[in-house]
Amino acid sequence: MLWHHPVQPDDLCVKLIGGINMQALLVNLEAILAGSGLIRGEQVRQRASSWLDSSPNQALAIMRPSTTEELSKALQICNDNHISVVAMGGMTGLVNGAKALSLERMNKILELDPIQKTAVVEAGVALQMLHESALEHDCHFAVDLGAGTTTIGGMVSTNAGRTEVLRFGMMREQILGLEVVLADGKILSSMRPLLKNNTGYDLKQLFIGAEGTLGIVTKALVRLRPKSLTNSCALLAVESYPQVLNLLAHLQQKAGQSLATFEVI
């Protein structure tokens, strides 16, 4: 949870900020967030501000809900008191956009169906964990990043993608449904495992790539693909950038949809 302005000493908790008794508000949040769901003080300072910035995190408190319902109640309290909240994922981003709402305890793969080729995952599931679980069922999750600790919720919120977009598309193309908590605590769900689904507005698309500004993703229903039986890789040299484009067109013509990645170094 990122409050109105930077926080320094812990005794600031007992002061009124914008007319709000912060100590009372934190007590209410602690009652909602079970166990160690709310951390503050030195526990917060022990966490770095970002992946690139090792200076202590200056948030007044960090919420760590373990369920969608906990997050819903906590966001409702923050919304009613006009408290700003900034979500964090796997902390692998490079834009210093994550501070103080962590879904690290919502890290379970709830269901993996190798027949329908779908998986239901909580937002805090690490990408590497999903890849490994999919491979155990001869499936493949089609977005692969260098940072295996990046989380699915963050990938949804940034519409992540890498070199396999040529074949499978960005994160947007992997999402069949989302569960999202809005700023006022309302829960919005579109967790329907149908590829052919034309039932009204596709509201989940609003939250993909929205950087958490419209709501916090708590669960995702993702598509899986059959595991490739063979893989081939070639390192080719060309003399000019126009030849790069001609090479890509040539490979797409010859390989069709089996061309998964094409990267210029």
CATH code of the domain containing 63: 3.30.43.10
Q: What does the alpha-carbon distance between residue 83 and residue 81 come to, in Å, rounded to a whole number?
A: 6
Q: Model confidence at 99, in pLDDT bands (50, 70, 90)? A: low
Last residue of a domain, one of 102, 134, 155: 102
Whether residue 71 is found in the same domain as residue 137: no
Within-domain flag for 122:
yes
User: How much of the chain exceeds pLDDT 90, in percent?
Assistant: 46
Cα separation, 14 vs 12, whole angstroms: 5
86, 116: one domain = no
- Whether the per-residue pLDDT at 214 is higher than 70: the answer is yes
- Are residues 213 and 123 part of one domain? yes
- The least confident of 46-60, 103-117, 144-158, 219-233 is 46-60
* Whether this model's pTM surpasses 0.85: no
Same domain, 239 and 219: no
Could you tell me if 242 and 215 lie in one domain?
no
Domain co-membership, 56 together with 71: yes
Closest of 137, 119, 126 to residue 227, by C-alpha: 137
Q: Is the Cβ–Cβ distance between 216 and 181 less than 8 Å?
A: yes
For 134, counting Cβ atoms within 10 Å of its Cβ (0-12 exposed, 13-18 middle, 19+ buried), the class is buried
**Residue 162 belongs to a domain:** yes
End-of-domain residue from the set 81, 102, 123: 102
User: What is the overall mean pLDDT for the chain?
Assistant: 83
pLDDT at 10 over 60: no
Pull the structure tokens for residue 140.
């493949």
Q: Which of the four pLDDT bands, split at 50, 70 and 90, describes residue 3?
A: very low
Instruction: Pick the last residue of a domain from 51, 74, 102.
Output: 102
Q: Which helix (H) or strand (E) holds 62?
A: strand 61-63
SS3 264: coil
Q: Is residue 1 part of a domain?
A: no
Chain center to CA of 85: 15
| Cα end-to-end distance, the chain, whole Å | 40
Q: Is residue 64 part of a domain?
A: yes
In a domain, 181, yes or no: yes
Domains contained in the chain, number = 3
What pLDDT shows up at residue 243?
Answer: 95
Q: Are 155 and 131 in contact (CB under 8 A)?
A: no
CB 72, CB 183: distance < 8 Å: no
Q: Domain check: are 114 and 222 in the same one? A: yes
pLDDT of residue 133: 96
* 3 belongs to a structural domain: no
Integer CA distances (angstroms), 209 to 49, 156, 161, 212, 235, in order: 22, 6, 11, 8, 32
Let me know whether 220 and 120 are in one domain.
yes
The answer on pLDDT for 9 being more than 60 is no
What stretch of H or E contains 253?
helix 241-255
φ/ψ region of 255 (left if φ > 0, alpha if ψ in -120 to 50, else beta) reads: alpha
Residues in the chain: 265
How many helices (H) and strands (E) are present in the chain, helices listed first? 8, 13
- Condensed to tens digits (0 to 9), the pLDDT of residues 151-205 reads 999 999 999 987 788 888 899 999 999 999 999 999 999 998 877 778 888 999 9
Query: Per-residue confidence at 71, pLDDT binned at 50, 70, 90?
Result: very high
What is the predicted pLDDT for the residue at 61? 84
Regarding whether 96 and 14 lie in a shared domain, the answer is yes
Q: Which two tokens stand for residue 134?
A: 């999919």
> What distance in Å separates the CA atoms of residue 123 and residue 161, rounded to the nearest whole number?
17
Q: Locate all alpha helices (DSSP H) within the chain, ordered by sequence.
A: 22-32, 42-45, 68-80, 127-136, 152-158, 165-168, 204-207, 241-255
pLDDT band at residue 68 under the 50/70/90 scheme: very high
SS3 of residue 8 by DSSP: coil
Q: Tokens 């170094």 appear where?
A: 265
Domain match, 115 and 218 both: yes
Domain identity same for 116 and 213: yes
Q: Minimum mean pLDDT among 46-60, 109-123, 245-259: which range?
A: 46-60
Is 160 a domain residue? yes
Q: Is the domain of 115 the same as that of 156?
A: yes
**Three-class SS of residue 175?**
strand
**Domain boundaries, position 96:** 10-102
Q: Domain for residue 24, yes or no?
A: yes
**pLDDT above 70 (res 4):** no
pLDDT of residue 7: 38
